[in-house]
Structure 1
Amino acid sequence: MTDWLRRRFHALPPPVRRRVRRLWLSAVPITQCALAAGVSWWIAVVIFDHPQPFFAPIAAVISLGLSLGKRWRRSAELVTGVVIGIIVGDLLISWIGSGTWQIILVVALAMTVAVVLDDGPIIPIQAASSAVLVATLLPPGEVGGVNRAIDALIGGLIGILIGALFPVNPAHRARRDAAGLLATMRDSSRRLAAGLRDMEEQEVFAALTAARGTQEAINTMRADMRGGKEVSAISPLYWGSRERLQRISATADPIDNAVRNFRIIARRALAMTQRREALHPDIVDIIDDLGEAFEILRAMMIAKPGEPPDQADAARVLRTIARKAKPELVANSSLAETAVMAEIRSLLVDMLMICGLGRSSAAATLR
C-alpha cells in the first residue's frame, strides 16, 4: 500500500506534488491548531462561563501556528499584548469616551507601550487590536475586558499543552530540512563540475543560481531545529531525544557555512568560465566528488539511529576527497584558480564539521 501511494504521488504533476507534500508536512500542526482551538473554546465556555470567548481559540491558534519555533514566546507575547490593550483601552475610553480620535489615541498609546516593553512583532499588534475592541465593542470598566485577557491566557496555555501532548516529531522535520538542503548542494556540485568540464557558462550559472536560492530553506531549517529543541524540552514523549536534537542542531552552522562557501566557489568558477579560463581538471574532479560527499551527508541526516551511513562513514568519504585537495595542484596557478582551491578546502572543513568534527580537527585533515 505504501509503495502504491508513493508511485501515485510521484506520478502527479510537479506543482501538484509540491502542494500535496506541503499539506502532508503541515498535517500535524493543522490538527494541533484545530484541536487546541476547540478545547480552549470549550474550557472558556463551560468552565469559566464566558459567553463569547473568541480570544481563546484565536490565542490557541496563534500560539501554535504551523511553525515549531518559539511557541512559548508566541503565547507569552499574545497574552501580554491582550493585557496591555485592555488596560490602556479601558483606562482611556472610560475617561475620554469613544470615537474616531479616541481610537487613534488608544491604538497609538497601546502600541507605544508594547514596543517599549518588547521588540517582538506580536505584542504591538495584539495590544492594538485589543485596544480597538475596548474602544468599539466592549463596555469600559466592566468585566468583559478582564474576561478577554483570561480567554487569551486559556488559549495560549491550551496551545502549549496540545503541542506537548500531541507533538510533531522534532527530529524528523529538522533532519528533512537538512537533507533537502544537502540534496540541492549535491545536484549543484555535479552540475557545476559538468559545466566546468564543458566550459558551459549557462550550466555554471545554473549551479550558482540553485545555491543562491537556498536561503529560505536555510532559514526554515534553523527555525525547525530551534522548534525541535523546544518540543523535546516541553513534550514528555521526546525527552529522550534531547541529545539527538542537540547533535542535529549542531549541524546548522556548518551546513549554512558550506552553502556560503559553495556559492563563492560557483561565483569564482563562473567568472573564470566567462573569461574562457579553464580550471585544472583535477580541481574539477574534486568539485564533482563534492557531489558524492553531499549525498552521503544527506543520507546520514535521514538515516535512523544505528543505521548506516553514520558520521564516521561520511567523514571517511570526506577525508578521501580532502587528500586530493593538495596545495600542490595550484603551485603555479593563477590567482583565480588558487582562490577556488582555497574555498574548496574551506568547504571541506565545513562538511567535516557536519560529520561532528570540531573545527581544529577538521582543519587538521587538510595538509
Structure 2
Amino acid sequence: MSEVWLDRLRQSTTRAVESIAPISQIVLAAVAGYSIAHFGLGHETPIFAVTVAITALGFTRDARPRRIIETALGMIIGILLSEVFLLSLGQGLIQLAVVLLISLLAARFISGSASFALTVGIQAMLVQILPVPDGGAFLRSIDGLIGGLTALVFTAIIPRDPRGIANRDAEKLFRVFIDSVEALRLATKNVDEKVLDEALIRVRRSQPLIDNWRLSLDSAVAIAKISPFLRKYRDELSGQLRLMRGMDLATRNLRVVVRRVDFLVKDGEPRPYLADLFEQISQAAQLLESGLDDSSDRREAQRQLVYIIHQLDPKRFGIGDQLREASVLLLLRPLLVDLLCASGMSEEDARAELPSI
C-alpha cells in the first residue's frame, strides 16, 4: 500500500512541477486582462476578461493559437448572444431557458466540438444571471474580447516550452519502440515467448503516445509561427515533424512484425540472424531518438538503416523457400522504409534502397 501511495505522490508531484509553466502563463494573462479592462478602460468588475483568458489558455496539451482563438471566440459568441437576448427579452426563468437553447443550437451549428458548445452555453448563462454592469450590457463582450486577445498574446510572448513537451512525448514513444524491438531480439535469440507477449501488449497500446506527440508537435509548430522566441526553431520542428510521421508508420508496422514473430517462435527454434537484425534496428532507433537534439545522429541513423535494409532479402539467409521465416523479412521491409523516412530520406529514395527479391 505504501508503494502505491508513494507512486501516486510522485505522479502528483510530477504533474504539479510540469504545470508550473502553464500556471504562470495563465496567472499573468488573467492579471493582464483584468488590468486592461479595469484600470485601462474603467470597467468595475471585468469578470469575463479573466474567465476568457483562463479558459482559452487552459491546461490542454493542444496550445495551438487556432485552438485558443476558437475557445475564446466561443465564449465571446456566448456572451454576445446572451446580451442581445437580455436587451430584447429581459431576465427570467423562461428567458434563461430560451437563451441557453438558442446558444447551444447556434454553437453546434458553428462547430462540431462539444466543448465549444458548452463554453458558449456557460458564458451565456453567466450573462443572464449576473447583474448588468454600469455602462451597458455590451461591456461584457468587450471584456471577453480583451481576455481572448490577452490569451493569444501570452501564447506568443510566454510560450509553454512546446519543444520540450514534444521531445518528452517523442521519448516516450521511442522507449516503447526500442523496448519492443529489444524484445524481438531476445525472443528470436532465446525463444522467449513471455517477453514477446509483453512487447505485444506494449506496442498495441502505443497509439495514444503517437497521438500525444503529434498534438504537442503541431502546437509547437503553430506557436513558432507567431512567437518571436521560437521562430528560430521552425526548421528543427519541421524535421521533427518528418520524424514523427515516419515513426507513426514504423510503429504501426512494428505491431504487425511483433504479431508475426510471436507466431514464428512457437516452434521453439532460435533465429540468430533475426536477433542480429533486430539488434541493428534497435541501435539505429536509438540514434534516431538522439537525433531529436542532434541532427548528426539522425544522419548516422540513416546510414545504419540503409545498411540494414540492404540485408532484407530472404535469399541472403537461405530462407527464400521458407514462407514462415521469409515473411518476417518481408514485413521488415516497409518498417525500414518508414524508419528511413523518419531519418529524413524521401519515400522514393528509401524504397530504391530495398534489395530486389
**Residues 1:317 and 2:310 are matched in the alignment:** no
**Residues 1:281 and 2:272 are matched in the alignment:** yes
How far apart, in 1, do the equivalents of 2:142 and 2:88 lie?
Answer: 24
How far apart, in 1, do the equivalents of 2:351 and 2:236 lie?
Answer: 25
How far apart, in 2, do the equivalents of 1:314 and 1:245 lie?
Answer: 18
- SS, match of residue 236 in structure 1: coil
1:25 paired residue among 18, 32, 35:
18
Partner of 2:110: 117
- Contact 1:82–1:149 (CA<8 Å) still a contact in 2? no
Partner of 1:181: 173
Partner of 1:78: 71
Superposed, which structure 2 residues align to 1:255-266 within 5 Å?
255-266=247-258
The alpha-carbon deviation at position 272 of structure 1 amounts to 3.2
Q: Percent identity?
A: 28
How far apart, in 2, do the equivalents of 1:16 and 1:187 lie?
Answer: 27
How far apart, in 2, do the equivalents of 1:257 and 1:251 lie?
Answer: 10
The alpha-carbon deviation at position 165 of structure 1 amounts to 1.7
Where does structure 2 lack aligned partners over 5 or more consecutive residues?
A: 1-5
1:58 paired residue among 51, 64, 74:
51
Partner of 1:344: 332
The alpha-carbon deviation at position 19 of structure 1 amounts to 4.3
How far apart, in 1, do the equivalents of 2:246 and 2:28 lie?
Answer: 37
- Contact 2:285–2:301 (CA<8 Å) still a contact in 1? no
- Contact 2:30–2:54 (CA<8 Å) still a contact in 1? yes
- Contact 1:44–1:151 (CA<8 Å) still a contact in 2? yes
1:44 partner letter = A
How far apart, in 1, do the equivalents of 2:72 and 2:171 lie?
Answer: 37
- Contact 2:188–2:270 (CA<8 Å) still a contact in 1? yes
Superposed, which structure 2 residues align to 1:134-283 within 5 Å?
134-139=127-132, 145-273=137-265, 275-276=266-267, 278=269, 280-283=271-274
- Contact 1:86–1:145 (CA<8 Å) still a contact in 2? no
User: Judging changes above 3 Å, is the alpha-carbon distance between structure 1 residues 286 and 314 closer, same or farther for their aligned structure 2 residues?
Assistant: same
Partner of 1:127: 120
The alpha-carbon deviation at position 179 of structure 1 amounts to 2.8
- SS, match of residue 167 in structure 1: coil
The alpha-carbon deviation at position 49 of structure 1 amounts to 1.5
Partner of 1:36: 29
1:361 paired residue among 342, 349, 357:
349
1:331 partner letter = G
- Contact 2:309–2:333 (CA<8 Å) still a contact in 1? yes
Return the TM-score normalized by structure 2. Answer: 0.88
Return the TM-score normalized by structure 1. Answer: 0.85
Q: Deviations over 1:67-104 (max 9, x none)?
A: 46454223332343234323433344455554444333
Q: Deviations over 1:211-270 (max 9, x none)?
A: 122222211111111111122111112222212221111222111111111111112222
How far apart, in 2, do the equivalents of 1:233 and 1:355 lie?
Answer: 24
How far apart, in 2, do the equivalents of 1:254 and 1:50 lie?
Answer: 52
Q: Deviations over 1:37-76 (max 9, x none)?
A: 1111121111121222122222222222334645422333
User: Judging changes above 3 Å, is the alpha-carbon distance between structure 1 residues 125 and 35 closer, same or farther for their aligned structure 2 residues?
Assistant: same
- Contact 2:64–2:223 (CA<8 Å) still a contact in 1? no
- Contact 2:96–2:125 (CA<8 Å) still a contact in 1? yes
Partner of 1:3: none
Partner of 2:3: none
User: Judging changes above 3 Å, is the alpha-carbon distance between structure 1 residues 28 and 88 closer, same or farther for their aligned structure 2 residues?
Assistant: closer
- Once the two structures are overlaid, the 10-residue window that deviates more, 49-58 or 21-30, is 21-30
Q: Deviations over 1:164-217 (max 9, x none)?
A: 222234433323322331122111111222133333322111111111222222
User: Judging changes above 3 Å, is the alpha-carbon distance between structure 1 residues 70 and 120 closer, same or farther for their aligned structure 2 residues?
Assistant: farther
1:333 partner letter = Q
User: Judging changes above 3 Å, is the alpha-carbon distance between structure 1 residues 278 and 294 closer, same or farther for their aligned structure 2 residues?
Assistant: same
- Contact 1:186–1:294 (CA<8 Å) still a contact in 2? yes
The alpha-carbon deviation at position 16 of structure 1 amounts to 4.7
- SS, match of residue 237 in structure 1: coil
Q: Deviations over 1:119-162 (max 9, x none)?
A: 2344312221122123322449x855422222221112112222
How far apart, in 2, do the equivalents of 1:95 and 1:148 lie?
Answer: 16
User: Judging changes above 3 Å, is the alpha-carbon distance between structure 1 residues 169 and 363 closer, same or farther for their aligned structure 2 residues?
Assistant: same
How far apart, in 2, do the equivalents of 1:34 and 1:298 lie?
Answer: 35
2:211 partner letter = N
The alpha-carbon deviation at position 324 of structure 1 amounts to 2.6
User: Judging changes above 3 Å, is the alpha-carbon distance between structure 1 residues 364 and 188 closer, same or farther for their aligned structure 2 residues?
Assistant: same
**Residues 1:294 and 2:282 are matched in the alignment:** no
How far apart, in 2, do the equivalents of 1:136 and 1:151 lie?
Answer: 17
How far apart, in 2, do the equivalents of 1:86 and 1:192 lie?
Answer: 57
Partner of 1:7: none
Aligned pair count reads: 349
Where does structure 1 lack aligned partners over 5 or more consecutive residues?
A: 1-12
How far apart, in 2, do the equivalents of 1:145 and 1:256 lie?
Answer: 50
